[in-house]
Structure 1
Amino acid sequence: MSWGPAGDESGSSVQPITERPRRVVLRTQDGVAVDAFHEPGDGPPDGPVFVLAHGFTGDLERPHVRRAARAFAQRGAVVTFSFRGHGRSGGRSTVGDREVLDLAAAVEWARSLGHARVVTVGFSMGGSVVLRHAASHRGRTEARTDAVVAVSAPARWFYRGTAPMRRLHWVVTRRSGRMVGRIGLRTRIHPHDWDPVPLSPVESVPLIAPTPLLVVHGDRDPYFPVDHPRMLAAAADGGAELWLEPGMGHAEHAASDELLDRIGEWGSAAVAAQ
């Protein structure tokens, strides 16, 4: 992976924690350019860095992503980035598969800036990515995470049990749907099926321990009903905390400021206890 300010020559030396916002272009393991932004935040100097993984059709400049970043900035530094196929990042979205490499690049960059403790927080598609990333990057100092929060995440692939998910599958799997995604949703989607099918979120959860894990889900989520978070928590076999939020819908849009603050508090406490 390489990084550097957009338009500047990139470098890879470890630097002290930056005191000013910094926007860079990261290069993933498979060569995709990922737009990323670091904010020092208002938390204590020894606080964690929150690496925020947005949902499908989001990007680091979307208002709901910025709102979440502002909430986490009260507890520590924040790294936001746009997944491949989203915003200013290159490539095409694989809807949760290769996106693990995007998150790994963002975590590595955060550590290169001097942050010793990392909390990954993912919403919806990003929630599935933080789970799979935590399972697949154990023991890798540069890309590992110290605590994981999955908000509104699916437990299993290919779910079509709700109308919003059936519409999403049309967007992803049909040529006309991908055109709608590109023009209407500003999301460029890869046209090919997964090969091989990646490890599912629920299959990833048992591999995360002993890293602290928080699963957050709304009881009025129109995409994924509450059996999804319950499956994820059960797969952790007592190693995860589950918050079922009354009246909450789906992902960043539905997360209240109060909930975001509680997530930030949980993340700070989880890494401080290690």
Structure 2
Amino acid sequence: MSTTPAGHVARSTVRPNFETSRRTPLRTFLHTDDGVTIDSVYDPSRAVYDVSAQPAGHLAFVVAHGFTGDVDKPHVRRVIDAFAQYGAVVSFSFRGHGASGGLSTVGDKEVLDLAAAVRWARELGHTRVATVGFSMGGSVVLRHAALYRSGQEGRTEASSDAVVSVSAPARWYYRGTAPMRKLHWLVTRPEGRLVGRYGFRTRITHREWDPVPLSPVEAVPHIAPTPLLIVHGDRDGYFPVDHPRSLHEASDGHADLWMEPMGHAEHAADDELLGRIGDWAVGAAG
């Protein structure tokens, strides 16, 4: 499949009608607003319905994976398959991950990747989009929802109608757990970035943030009125429970908070939880 010329609005160069696209998986490269190519996949809904009666605007999930994940990894595919029971799914590899171009900025410029994927879902005919992110992706969906919230002039094409953040950090530079200290070594040390490149297929920038981007907890107050669900495990080895509680408190009662008996991100989210998230998104994105 050919790709869009750099600098154009993120879109697939194939322009399928919705009746076809919702039955046939599609794969293409999208282009972000800063010109990075993003490997992206569209999976049609597997929900049982009368296709001829289904309106073109039915729900699409846009899945944002965690750090070192990509669209082809089994734990990401399992999440995609679960949400496809509730609606169509757009998934993608963040910059620097898998077959996508660019370098990972570990949650900063990745907001542009998510915006490109949301625009593509809307191009395919979906008028309702729920963004669901895990770990790093969880921080990205929060920041995206604040920066691209509905009603901002020129940004509604890329905004979401419901947001689910799973296992996300509340604040940057957290090193209070052993896994996060290892992650900081991976990101900040030259030898760590080599491990990321060759061990995890993740290419990480050596540049420090400048300026430091809006943190997840700073983003949350700006998400309303978009429905928001915060999901976190009480056994999360990366981010302890003060992180989701801080996010929930910052929402001033707007967000739903689910504390679950689980560990961290996609690997820990079982099918039952993913099903409940799917149900919540269907109702919230209404």
| 2:122 corresponds to 1:111 | yes
Query: 1:3 Cα shift?
Result: 3.0
Gaps of 5+ in 2: 1-8
* Cα separation, 2, equivalents of 1:85 and 1:132: 19
Query: 1:14 Cα shift?
Result: 8.7
* Aligned position for 2:239: 224
* Aligned position for 2:77: 66
* Cα separation, 2, equivalents of 1:85 and 1:97: 12
| 2:52 corresponds to 1:41 | no
* Aligned position for 2:93: 82
Query: 1:15 Cα shift?
Result: 4.7
Letter in 2 for 1:207: H
The more displaced of 34-43 and 51-60 is: 34-43
**TM-score, normalized by length of structure 1?**
0.94
Query: Identical aligned pairs, as a percentage?
Result: 68
Q: What SS does the aligned partner of 1:202 have?
A: helix
Written as runs of structure 1 = structure 2, the 5 A alignment for 1:164-183 is 164-183=179-198
| 2:269 corresponds to 1:258 | no
Letter in 2 for 1:180: V
* Cα separation, 1, equivalents of 2:82 and 2:198: 30
* Aligned position for 1:7: none
| Matched residues, number | 265
* Cα separation, 2, equivalents of 1:3 and 1:100: 16
Q: What SS does the aligned partner of 2:277 have?
A: helix
1:36-87, Cα deviation, whole Å (9 max, x unpaired): 0001112353431000000000000010110001110010000110000001
Give yes or no for contact 1:15–1:112 (8 Å, CA) kept in 2: no
| 2:104 corresponds to 1:93 | yes
Letter in 1 for 2:241: V
* Cα separation, 2, equivalents of 1:81 and 1:90: 12
Gaps of 5+ in 1: 5-9
* Cα separation, 2, equivalents of 1:48 and 1:202: 27
Query: 1:16 Cα shift?
Result: 3.0
Give yes or no for contact 1:155–1:202 (8 Å, CA) kept in 2: yes
* Cα separation, 2, equivalents of 1:97 and 1:106: 16
Give yes or no for contact 2:11–2:116 (8 Å, CA) kept in 1: no
Query: 1:32 Cα shift?
Result: 0.1
Query: 1:217 Cα shift?
Result: 0.2
Q: What SS does the aligned partner of 2:238 have?
A: coil
* Aligned position for 2:167: 152
Letter in 2 for 1:261: G
* Aligned position for 2:3: none
1:134-169, Cα deviation, whole Å (9 max, x unpaired): 000022221000000000000000000000000000
Q: Cα RMSD (Å) of the superposition? A: 1.2
* Aligned position for 2:4: none
* Cα separation, 2, equivalents of 1:63 and 1:24: 19
Give yes or no for contact 1:119–1:148 (8 Å, CA) kept in 2: yes
* Aligned position for 2:11: 3
Query: 1:271 Cα shift?
Result: 1.2
* Aligned position for 1:236: 251
Give yes or no for contact 1:55–1:124 (8 Å, CA) kept in 2: yes
Letter in 2 for 1:21: P
Letter in 2 for 1:3: R
* Aligned position for 2:131: 120
In structure 2, the CA distance between the partners of 1:14 and 1:199, relative to structure 1 (3 Å rule), is farther
The more displaced of 232-241 and 15-24 is: 15-24
* Cα separation, 1, equivalents of 2:16 and 2:228: 28
